[in-house]
Structure 1
Amino acid sequence: MTADRPRRLLILVASPRRNGNSALLADAALRGAHAAGLDASLHFADDLMQTFLRDCRDCRDEHGRCRIDDGYADFFLDRFLEADGLVLSTPVYWYGMSAQAKAFFDRMFCYVARSYPQSQRVRERIQGKRVGLLTASEEMYPTIGLSIVNQVQEYARYTHSQFVGAVHGQGDRRGSVREDRHGAMAAAEALGRQFFERPHADYQVDSVR
Protein backbone atom coordinates (compact mmCIF):
# COMPACT_ATOMS: atom_id res chain seq x y z
CA MET A 1 0.00 0.00 0.00
CA THR A 2 1.24 3.48 -0.80
CA ALA A 3 0.71 6.47 1.47
CA ASP A 4 -1.39 8.38 -1.09
CA ARG A 5 -4.30 5.95 -1.44
CA PRO A 6 -6.83 4.39 0.94
CA ARG A 7 -6.29 0.78 1.83
CA ARG A 8 -8.11 -1.53 -0.54
CA LEU A 9 -10.46 -4.18 0.76
CA LEU A 10 -12.18 -6.79 -1.39
CA ILE A 11 -15.29 -8.49 -0.05
CA LEU A 12 -16.11 -11.71 -1.89
CA VAL A 13 -19.52 -13.38 -1.57
CA ALA A 14 -19.13 -17.08 -2.30
CA SER A 15 -22.83 -17.92 -2.29
CA PRO A 16 -25.12 -18.53 -5.28
CA ARG A 17 -27.80 -16.41 -3.57
CA ARG A 18 -27.64 -12.70 -4.32
CA ASN A 19 -29.89 -11.76 -1.41
CA GLY A 20 -29.06 -14.52 1.03
CA ASN A 21 -27.56 -14.33 4.50
CA SER A 22 -23.96 -14.45 3.26
CA ALA A 23 -24.62 -11.45 1.02
CA LEU A 24 -26.27 -9.54 3.89
CA LEU A 25 -23.25 -10.10 6.12
CA ALA A 26 -21.00 -8.95 3.29
CA ASP A 27 -23.11 -5.83 2.79
CA ALA A 28 -22.73 -5.05 6.49
CA ALA A 29 -18.95 -5.41 6.27
CA LEU A 30 -18.96 -3.15 3.23
CA ARG A 31 -20.88 -0.47 5.12
CA GLY A 32 -18.38 -0.61 7.92
CA ALA A 33 -15.43 -0.40 5.53
CA HIS A 34 -16.91 2.62 3.74
CA ALA A 35 -17.58 4.30 7.09
CA ALA A 36 -13.88 3.90 7.86
CA GLY A 37 -12.91 5.51 4.55
CA LEU A 38 -11.57 2.35 2.96
CA ASP A 39 -11.50 1.66 -0.77
CA ALA A 40 -13.83 -1.31 -0.40
CA SER A 41 -15.77 -3.22 -3.03
CA LEU A 42 -18.11 -6.22 -3.01
CA HIS A 43 -17.99 -9.00 -5.59
CA PHE A 44 -19.83 -12.27 -6.22
CA ALA A 45 -17.75 -15.35 -6.97
CA ASP A 46 -20.30 -16.53 -9.55
CA ASP A 47 -19.50 -13.44 -11.64
CA LEU A 48 -15.80 -14.34 -11.70
CA MET A 49 -15.72 -18.09 -12.14
CA GLN A 50 -17.60 -20.48 -14.39
CA THR A 51 -15.49 -23.57 -13.85
CA PHE A 52 -13.14 -25.27 -11.44
CA LEU A 53 -9.37 -25.64 -11.67
CA ARG A 54 -8.19 -27.76 -14.60
CA ASP A 55 -4.96 -29.64 -15.28
CA CYS A 56 -2.55 -26.79 -16.00
CA ARG A 57 -0.37 -29.08 -18.10
CA ASP A 58 -3.17 -29.32 -20.64
CA CYS A 59 -4.85 -25.98 -20.07
CA ARG A 60 -2.01 -23.46 -20.50
CA ASP A 61 -1.43 -21.83 -23.87
CA GLU A 62 1.95 -21.62 -25.61
CA HIS A 63 2.87 -18.62 -23.44
CA GLY A 64 2.10 -20.38 -20.17
CA ARG A 65 -1.17 -18.53 -19.60
CA CYS A 66 -4.34 -20.14 -18.30
CA ARG A 67 -6.90 -20.79 -21.04
CA ILE A 68 -9.91 -20.43 -18.74
CA ASP A 69 -11.47 -17.15 -19.84
CA ASP A 70 -14.18 -16.39 -17.31
CA GLY A 71 -13.06 -13.26 -15.50
CA TYR A 72 -11.09 -14.89 -12.71
CA ALA A 73 -7.69 -13.95 -14.15
CA ASP A 74 -8.56 -10.26 -14.39
CA PHE A 75 -9.98 -10.19 -10.89
CA PHE A 76 -7.13 -12.14 -9.33
CA LEU A 77 -4.25 -10.40 -11.11
CA ASP A 78 -5.63 -6.86 -11.27
CA ARG A 79 -7.81 -6.62 -8.16
CA PHE A 80 -6.85 -9.24 -5.62
CA LEU A 81 -3.09 -8.97 -5.90
CA GLU A 82 -3.31 -5.19 -5.62
CA ALA A 83 -5.64 -5.28 -2.61
CA ASP A 84 -4.53 -4.99 1.00
CA GLY A 85 -7.21 -7.25 2.41
CA LEU A 86 -9.91 -9.82 1.66
CA VAL A 87 -13.13 -10.65 3.47
CA LEU A 88 -14.62 -13.96 2.35
CA SER A 89 -18.33 -14.48 2.98
CA THR A 90 -19.52 -18.04 2.56
CA PRO A 91 -22.47 -20.17 3.64
CA VAL A 92 -21.71 -23.32 5.58
CA TYR A 93 -22.36 -26.16 3.14
CA TRP A 94 -21.87 -29.70 4.45
CA TYR A 95 -19.89 -28.22 7.36
CA GLY A 96 -17.36 -26.58 5.06
CA MET A 97 -17.07 -23.61 2.74
CA SER A 98 -19.05 -23.41 -0.48
CA ALA A 99 -17.70 -24.78 -3.76
CA GLN A 100 -17.37 -21.22 -5.03
CA ALA A 101 -15.17 -20.27 -2.08
CA LYS A 102 -12.95 -23.32 -2.47
CA ALA A 103 -12.64 -22.75 -6.22
CA PHE A 104 -11.48 -19.18 -5.59
CA PHE A 105 -8.51 -20.48 -3.64
CA ASP A 106 -7.91 -23.46 -5.94
CA ARG A 107 -7.72 -21.29 -9.03
CA MET A 108 -4.82 -19.34 -7.50
CA PHE A 109 -2.64 -22.36 -8.25
CA CYS A 110 -2.58 -21.47 -11.95
CA TYR A 111 -0.67 -18.30 -11.13
CA VAL A 112 1.44 -19.50 -8.22
CA ALA A 113 2.81 -22.55 -10.04
CA ARG A 114 6.28 -22.11 -11.54
CA SER A 115 4.92 -22.94 -14.98
CA TYR A 116 3.21 -19.54 -14.99
CA PRO A 117 5.67 -16.96 -16.45
CA GLN A 118 5.02 -14.34 -13.76
CA SER A 119 4.67 -16.70 -10.81
CA GLN A 120 7.40 -14.97 -8.81
CA ARG A 121 5.51 -11.66 -8.94
CA VAL A 122 2.31 -13.43 -7.93
CA ARG A 123 4.03 -15.11 -4.98
CA GLU A 124 5.35 -11.78 -3.80
CA ARG A 125 2.01 -9.96 -4.15
CA ILE A 126 -0.12 -12.70 -2.62
CA GLN A 127 1.64 -12.38 0.71
CA GLY A 128 1.09 -10.04 3.63
CA LYS A 129 -2.61 -9.31 3.22
CA ARG A 130 -5.19 -9.14 5.95
CA VAL A 131 -7.94 -11.76 5.73
CA GLY A 132 -11.37 -11.90 7.37
CA LEU A 133 -14.19 -14.44 7.26
CA LEU A 134 -17.99 -14.27 7.38
CA THR A 135 -20.03 -17.47 7.60
CA ALA A 136 -23.76 -18.12 7.66
CA SER A 137 -25.71 -21.24 8.52
CA GLU A 138 -29.04 -22.54 9.79
CA GLU A 139 -27.39 -24.17 12.77
CA MET A 140 -26.10 -22.10 15.66
CA TYR A 141 -23.85 -24.32 17.75
CA PRO A 142 -20.49 -22.61 18.39
CA THR A 143 -18.25 -24.78 16.21
CA ILE A 144 -20.48 -25.02 13.12
CA GLY A 145 -18.00 -23.07 10.97
CA LEU A 146 -14.82 -24.21 12.70
CA SER A 147 -13.52 -26.20 9.72
CA ILE A 148 -13.80 -23.07 7.54
CA VAL A 149 -12.04 -20.95 10.15
CA ASN A 150 -9.24 -23.51 10.26
CA GLN A 151 -8.91 -23.59 6.48
CA VAL A 152 -8.74 -19.82 6.15
CA GLN A 153 -6.26 -19.69 9.04
CA GLU A 154 -4.03 -22.18 7.22
CA TYR A 155 -4.30 -20.13 4.02
CA ALA A 156 -3.22 -17.06 5.99
CA ARG A 157 -0.31 -18.94 7.53
CA TYR A 158 0.82 -20.32 4.17
CA THR A 159 0.76 -16.90 2.50
CA HIS A 160 2.27 -14.99 5.45
CA SER A 161 -1.01 -13.12 5.82
CA GLN A 162 -2.94 -12.08 8.92
CA PHE A 163 -6.28 -13.67 9.77
CA VAL A 164 -7.86 -10.82 11.71
CA GLY A 165 -11.34 -12.05 12.52
CA ALA A 166 -14.36 -14.24 11.83
CA VAL A 167 -18.07 -13.57 12.26
CA HIS A 168 -20.77 -16.22 12.15
CA GLY A 169 -24.41 -15.43 11.50
CA GLN A 170 -27.34 -17.78 12.07
CA GLY A 171 -30.46 -17.74 9.95
CA ASP A 172 -32.88 -20.50 8.99
CA ARG A 173 -34.40 -18.64 6.06
CA ARG A 174 -33.28 -16.10 3.50
CA GLY A 175 -32.55 -12.76 5.16
CA SER A 176 -33.12 -13.95 8.72
CA VAL A 177 -29.49 -13.35 9.69
CA ARG A 178 -30.75 -9.86 10.51
CA GLU A 179 -32.45 -11.48 13.50
CA ASP A 180 -29.33 -13.27 14.74
CA ARG A 181 -29.44 -13.05 18.54
CA HIS A 182 -25.68 -12.63 18.85
CA GLY A 183 -25.63 -9.50 16.71
CA ALA A 184 -23.98 -10.93 13.61
CA MET A 185 -24.85 -7.97 11.40
CA ALA A 186 -23.33 -5.48 13.81
CA ALA A 187 -20.28 -7.71 14.23
CA ALA A 188 -19.82 -7.95 10.45
CA GLU A 189 -20.08 -4.18 10.14
CA ALA A 190 -17.51 -3.76 12.92
CA LEU A 191 -15.17 -6.18 11.14
CA GLY A 192 -15.31 -4.05 8.01
CA ARG A 193 -14.89 -0.81 9.91
CA GLN A 194 -11.96 -2.03 12.03
CA PHE A 195 -10.43 -4.31 9.44
CA PHE A 196 -6.99 -2.71 9.21
CA GLU A 197 -6.85 -1.56 12.84
CA ARG A 198 -7.64 -4.78 14.65
CA PRO A 199 -4.61 -6.07 16.56
CA HIS A 200 -3.22 -9.37 15.34
CA ALA A 201 -0.97 -11.58 17.43
CA ASP A 202 0.06 -15.10 16.46
CA TYR A 203 2.74 -15.98 18.96
CA GLN A 204 5.18 -18.86 18.73
CA VAL A 205 7.16 -20.26 21.62
CA ASP A 206 10.26 -18.26 20.67
CA SER A 207 8.46 -14.98 19.91
CA VAL A 208 9.94 -11.89 21.55
CA ARG A 209 7.34 -10.46 23.98
Structure 2
Amino acid sequence: MQMMMIYSSPRKRGNSTTLAKVFAQTSQNQYTLKEVHLQDAQLQPCRACKWCKTHYRCVIEDGMNELCLTFKESEAICFSTPVFWWGVSAQLKLFIDRLYQLQMDDFKDKKLSVIATGEDTLDGVQYRLVKEQFEAICEYTGMEFAGYLPVCADDDNPAGENVEALAQARALFTGM
Protein backbone atom coordinates (compact mmCIF):
# COMPACT_ATOMS: atom_id res chain seq x y z
CA MET A 1 0.00 0.00 0.00
CA GLN A 2 1.14 3.53 -0.73
CA MET A 3 0.86 6.78 1.22
CA MET A 4 1.45 10.17 -0.35
CA MET A 5 2.94 12.68 2.09
CA ILE A 6 2.36 16.27 1.02
CA TYR A 7 4.56 18.78 2.83
CA SER A 8 3.22 22.24 2.06
CA SER A 9 5.30 24.47 4.29
CA PRO A 10 7.62 26.92 2.57
CA ARG A 11 10.16 25.86 5.24
CA LYS A 12 11.55 22.34 4.87
CA ARG A 13 12.13 22.17 8.62
CA GLY A 14 8.95 23.97 9.59
CA ASN A 15 6.66 22.85 12.37
CA SER A 16 4.08 21.11 10.18
CA THR A 17 6.84 19.28 8.30
CA THR A 18 8.49 18.20 11.55
CA LEU A 19 5.27 16.60 12.78
CA ALA A 20 4.49 15.08 9.39
CA LYS A 21 7.94 13.45 9.28
CA VAL A 22 7.17 11.76 12.62
CA PHE A 23 3.81 10.64 11.20
CA ALA A 24 5.59 9.33 8.09
CA GLN A 25 8.17 7.38 10.10
CA THR A 26 5.38 5.71 12.06
CA SER A 27 3.60 4.69 8.84
CA GLN A 28 6.59 3.09 7.11
CA ASN A 29 5.75 -0.40 8.39
CA GLN A 30 2.37 -0.31 6.68
CA TYR A 31 2.88 1.98 3.68
CA THR A 32 5.38 2.74 0.99
CA LEU A 33 5.89 6.48 1.22
CA LYS A 34 5.86 8.93 -1.66
CA GLU A 35 6.97 12.27 -0.22
CA VAL A 36 6.39 15.59 -1.97
CA HIS A 37 7.66 19.00 -0.86
CA LEU A 38 5.33 21.37 -2.66
CA GLN A 39 7.75 24.28 -2.23
CA ASP A 40 10.11 22.44 -4.62
CA ALA A 41 7.40 21.46 -7.10
CA GLN A 42 7.10 24.89 -8.82
CA LEU A 43 3.45 24.29 -9.67
CA GLN A 44 1.46 26.85 -11.63
CA PRO A 45 -2.11 27.83 -10.74
CA CYS A 46 -5.10 26.30 -12.50
CA ARG A 47 -6.16 28.24 -15.60
CA ALA A 48 -9.79 27.03 -15.42
CA CYS A 49 -9.58 26.03 -19.08
CA LYS A 50 -11.23 22.64 -18.40
CA TRP A 51 -8.91 20.95 -20.91
CA CYS A 52 -8.32 18.28 -18.26
CA LYS A 53 -11.99 17.27 -18.28
CA THR A 54 -11.73 15.99 -21.86
CA HIS A 55 -8.07 14.85 -21.82
CA TYR A 56 -7.85 13.54 -18.22
CA ARG A 57 -4.65 15.43 -17.54
CA CYS A 58 -3.68 19.07 -17.20
CA VAL A 59 -2.49 21.06 -20.20
CA ILE A 60 0.17 22.69 -17.96
CA GLU A 61 3.34 20.55 -17.99
CA ASP A 62 4.79 21.45 -14.61
CA GLY A 63 4.86 18.11 -12.80
CA MET A 64 1.30 18.11 -11.50
CA ASN A 65 0.25 15.38 -13.92
CA GLU A 66 2.81 13.05 -12.32
CA LEU A 67 1.71 14.12 -8.84
CA CYS A 68 -1.87 13.28 -9.78
CA LEU A 69 -0.78 9.80 -10.86
CA THR A 70 0.88 9.31 -7.47
CA PHE A 71 -2.26 10.62 -5.77
CA LYS A 72 -4.42 8.16 -7.73
CA GLU A 73 -2.10 5.23 -6.86
CA SER A 74 -2.09 6.05 -3.12
CA GLU A 75 -4.48 4.51 -0.63
CA ALA A 76 -3.67 7.15 2.00
CA ILE A 77 -2.83 10.84 1.80
CA CYS A 78 -1.39 13.11 4.48
CA PHE A 79 -1.41 16.88 4.06
CA SER A 80 0.79 18.89 6.39
CA THR A 81 0.35 22.63 6.40
CA PRO A 82 1.13 25.73 8.36
CA VAL A 83 -1.94 27.87 8.90
CA PHE A 84 -1.90 31.28 7.25
CA TRP A 85 -4.85 33.65 7.54
CA TRP A 86 -7.18 30.94 8.91
CA GLY A 87 -6.46 28.51 6.09
CA VAL A 88 -3.93 26.20 4.49
CA SER A 89 -0.68 27.34 2.89
CA ALA A 90 -0.78 28.75 -0.63
CA GLN A 91 1.26 25.75 -1.78
CA LEU A 92 -1.35 23.28 -0.52
CA LYS A 93 -4.27 25.32 -1.86
CA LEU A 94 -2.62 25.35 -5.29
CA PHE A 95 -2.09 21.57 -5.16
CA ILE A 96 -5.70 20.94 -4.13
CA ASP A 97 -6.98 23.23 -6.90
CA ARG A 98 -4.94 21.32 -9.47
CA LEU A 99 -6.46 17.99 -8.33
CA TYR A 100 -9.43 19.20 -10.38
CA GLN A 101 -8.10 17.15 -13.29
CA LEU A 102 -8.94 13.91 -11.44
CA GLN A 103 -12.19 11.99 -11.74
CA MET A 104 -14.36 11.59 -8.62
CA ASP A 105 -13.56 7.85 -8.51
CA ASP A 106 -9.87 8.74 -8.13
CA PHE A 107 -10.62 10.08 -4.63
CA LYS A 108 -13.02 7.43 -3.42
CA ASP A 109 -12.06 5.45 -0.30
CA LYS A 110 -8.67 7.10 0.18
CA LYS A 111 -7.78 7.89 3.78
CA LEU A 112 -6.92 11.54 4.36
CA SER A 113 -5.03 12.83 7.38
CA VAL A 114 -4.19 16.46 8.01
CA ILE A 115 -1.56 18.05 10.23
CA ALA A 116 -1.91 21.81 10.77
CA THR A 117 0.33 24.09 12.81
CA GLY A 118 -0.09 27.72 13.65
CA GLU A 119 0.48 30.31 16.32
CA ASP A 120 -3.12 30.52 17.55
CA THR A 121 -4.29 28.61 20.61
CA LEU A 122 -5.95 25.28 19.88
CA ASP A 123 -9.38 26.70 20.63
CA GLY A 124 -8.81 29.39 18.00
CA VAL A 125 -11.06 29.51 14.96
CA GLN A 126 -8.25 28.76 12.48
CA TYR A 127 -8.01 25.09 13.43
CA ARG A 128 -11.78 24.61 13.28
CA LEU A 129 -11.91 26.20 9.82
CA VAL A 130 -9.10 24.00 8.46
CA LYS A 131 -10.75 20.86 9.86
CA GLU A 132 -14.15 21.80 8.44
CA GLN A 133 -12.61 22.42 5.02
CA PHE A 134 -11.13 18.93 4.87
CA GLU A 135 -14.23 17.28 6.30
CA ALA A 136 -16.21 18.93 3.48
CA ILE A 137 -13.64 17.87 0.88
CA CYS A 138 -13.85 14.27 2.10
CA GLU A 139 -17.63 14.30 2.12
CA TYR A 140 -17.67 15.65 -1.45
CA THR A 141 -15.02 13.31 -2.86
CA GLY A 142 -15.78 10.10 -0.98
CA MET A 143 -12.47 10.07 0.87
CA GLU A 144 -12.36 9.02 4.51
CA PHE A 145 -11.30 11.77 6.93
CA ALA A 146 -8.90 9.54 8.87
CA GLY A 147 -7.46 12.08 11.30
CA TYR A 148 -6.62 15.64 12.14
CA LEU A 149 -3.82 17.03 14.28
CA PRO A 150 -3.87 20.75 15.06
CA VAL A 151 -0.82 21.98 16.98
CA CYS A 152 0.06 25.38 18.36
CA ALA A 153 3.70 25.91 17.37
CA ASP A 154 5.88 28.84 16.42
CA ASP A 155 9.54 29.86 16.52
CA ASP A 156 9.38 30.26 20.31
CA ASN A 157 7.47 26.97 20.77
CA PRO A 158 8.75 24.63 18.01
CA ALA A 159 6.91 21.39 17.32
CA GLY A 160 10.16 19.42 17.43
CA GLU A 161 10.51 20.26 21.13
CA ASN A 162 6.86 19.57 21.98
CA VAL A 163 6.86 16.00 23.32
CA GLU A 164 3.07 15.87 23.44
CA ALA A 165 2.70 17.01 19.81
CA LEU A 166 5.29 14.47 18.64
CA ALA A 167 3.39 11.70 20.45
CA GLN A 168 0.13 12.94 18.90
CA ALA A 169 1.71 12.74 15.42
CA ARG A 170 2.61 9.09 16.08
CA ALA A 171 -0.87 8.41 17.45
CA LEU A 172 -2.51 10.05 14.46
CA PHE A 173 -1.19 7.27 12.26
CA THR A 174 -2.15 4.48 14.64
CA GLY A 175 -5.70 5.83 14.57
CA MET A 176 -5.95 5.32 10.79
TM-score, length-scaled by structure 2: 0.88
Which residue, 160, 165, 176 being the options, matches 1:178?
Answer: 160
What is the CA–CA distance in structure 2 between the aligned matches of 1:73 and 1:136, rounded to whole Å? Answer: 28
Which residue, 140, 146, 157 being the options, matches 1:158?
Answer: 140
Distance 1:141 1:191, change over 3 A: closer
Say whether the 8 Å CA contact 1:14–1:98 is kept in structure 2: yes
1:15 corresponding residue in structure 2: 9
What is the CA–CA distance in structure 1 between the aligned matches of 2:13 and 2:85, rounded to whole Å? Answer: 21
CA-CA distance at 1:132 after TM superposition: 0.5
Question: How is 1:55-134 mapped onto 2 (pairs within 5 angstroms)?
Answer: 55-57=48-50, 65-77=57-69, 79-109=70-100, 111-112=101-102, 122-134=103-115
SS in 2 for 1:31: helix
1:169 corresponding residue in structure 2: 151
Distance 1:43 1:174, change over 3 A: farther
Q: What letter is aligned with 1:19?
A: R
User: How well do the aligned residues superpose, as a CA RMSD in angstroms?
Assistant: 2.2
SS in 2 for 1:128: coil
What is the CA–CA distance in structure 2 between the aligned matches of 1:54 and 1:21, rounded to whole Å? Answer: 31
Which consecutive residues of structure 1, in runs of 5 or more, have no partner in the other structure?
1-6, 113-121, 199-209
Q: Could you tell me the percent identity over the aligned residues?
A: 27
SS in 2 for 1:93: coil
What is the CA–CA distance in structure 2 between the aligned matches of 1:64 and 1:159, rounded to whole Å? Answer: 17
Q: What letter is aligned with 1:127?
A: K
Distance 1:65 1:129, change over 3 A: closer
Bigger-Rg structure (1/2): 1
What is the CA–CA distance in structure 2 between the aligned matches of 1:149 and 1:90, rounded to whole Å? Answer: 12
CA-CA distance at 1:64 after TM superposition: 7.0
TM-score, length-scaled by structure 1: 0.75
SS in 2 for 1:30: helix
SS in 1 for 2:73: coil
Question: How is 1:22-41 mapped onto 2 (pairs within 5 angstroms)?
Answer: 22-34=16-28, 36-41=29-34
SS in 2 for 1:135: strand
SS in 1 for 2:86: coil
Distance 1:156 1:173, change over 3 A: same
Which consecutive residues of structure 2, in runs of 5 or more, have no partner in the other structure?
none
